[in-house]
């Protein structure tokens, strides 16, 4: 678990400070959800904690986002999958995370884009395509709005930081 959290916080180190809190909460919620699923396999049913309806829906929403964020941006999809209204989905996410459902979906897309920029050799157009953006301009606009730097500049910064780290060794 310590290694997992270390890797999560390593990823978070590339996030702009104004997005860090929301992104950290989203990632930790997913980790808690996944941990709960794993522990549920080993905990006798009479000893399991019961979550209230809002927490259960939030957990299901987080799992749906992790599974569908590349193909479904529309909140109607998520609300329909959970058999609730969009307004109720907003209320749940705001109550527990002080965020919006759309922001959670965008954070998942942003996290994936950061990962691809950091670990792949795909060009920006290929990354935009993999993230289901209509074109590279839309992706670049989204990325720059979130990170305050273009995807190309972000990758250049990563490469220059890596080069400096390698020189320090």
Residue-wise pLDDT for 25-71, tens only, equals 777 777 776 776 676 666 665 544 456 888 888 989 999 998 999 98
Q: What is the pLDDT of residue 168?
A: 55
| Lowest-confidence region among 14-23, 50-59, 61-70, 81-90 | 14-23
pLDDT score, position 73? 86
Would you give the DSSP letter of residue 50?
Answer: P
pLDDT of residue 88: 93
Q: Which residue has the higher pLDDT, 34 or 129?
A: 129
Q: Tell me the average pLDDT across 112-125.
A: 92
Q: What is the pLDDT of residue 40?
A: 67
> Which of 79-83, 135-139, 160-164 is predicted least confidently?
160-164
Which CA distances in Å does 69 have to 13, 66, 87, 154, 166? 22, 6, 19, 22, 35
């Amino acid at each position: 678990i310590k290694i997992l959290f270390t890797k999560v916080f390593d990823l978070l180190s590339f996030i702009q400070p104004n997005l860090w809190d929301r992104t950290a909460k989203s990632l930790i919620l997913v980790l808690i959800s996944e941990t709960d699923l794993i522990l549920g396999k080993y905990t006798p049913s009479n000893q399991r904690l019961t979550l209230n309806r809002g927490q259960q829906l939030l957990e299901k929403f987080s799992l749906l986002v992790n599974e569908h964020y590349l193909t479904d941006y529309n909140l109607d999809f998520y609300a329909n999958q959970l058999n609730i209204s969009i307004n109720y989905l907003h209320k749940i996410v705001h109550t527990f995370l002080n965020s919006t459902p759309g922001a959670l979906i965008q954070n998942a897309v942003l996290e994936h884009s950061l990962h691809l920029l950091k670990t792949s050799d795909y060009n920006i157009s290929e990354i935009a395509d993999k993230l289901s953006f209509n074109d590279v301009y839309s992706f670049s606009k989204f990325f720059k709005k979130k990170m305050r730097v273009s995807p190309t500049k972000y990758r250049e910064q990563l490469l220059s930081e890596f080069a400096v780290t390698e020189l320090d060794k």
